[in-house]
Amino acid sequence: MFFIGVFGVDSSEKVLKQLNSLVCPGCGRLCSGKLIFESTFFHIFFIPVFRWNKKYFLRTDCCGSKYIMTREKTEKILKGEAPDLAEYEHDERGSSFCPECKYPLSPDFSYCPRCGRKIGV
**pLDDT tens per residue across span 63-107:** 778 888 899 999 999 999 888 877 777 765 545 667 777 676 777
On whether residue 33 sits in a domain, the answer given is yes
**For the chain, how many structural domains are there in total?**
1
CA angle 96, 97, 100 (to 5 degrees): 150
Q: Round to whole Å and give the CA distance between 117 and 56.
A: 30
Query: Where do the H-state alpha helices sit in 9-118?
Result: 71-78
On whether residue 102 sits in a domain, the answer given is no
Asked if residue 1 has pLDDT above 60, the reply is no
On whether residue 115 sits in a domain, the answer given is no
Q: Round to whole Å and give the CA distance between 47 and 41.
A: 9
Number of neighbouring beta carbons within 10 Å of residue 110? 9
pTM over 0.85: no
Q: Round to whole Å and give the CA distance between 8 and 109.
A: 34
Q: Round to whole Å and give the CA distance between 53 and 16.
A: 17
On whether residue 59 sits in a domain, the answer given is yes
On whether residue 45 sits in a domain, the answer given is yes
On whether residue 88 sits in a domain, the answer given is yes
Q: How many residues are given for the chain?
A: 121
Q: Which is higher by pLDDT, 22 or 91?
A: 22
CA atoms within 13 A on the CB side of 50: 4
On whether residue 105 sits in a domain, the answer given is no
Range of the structural domain that residue 23 is part of: 2-94
pLDDT the model gives residue 94: 47
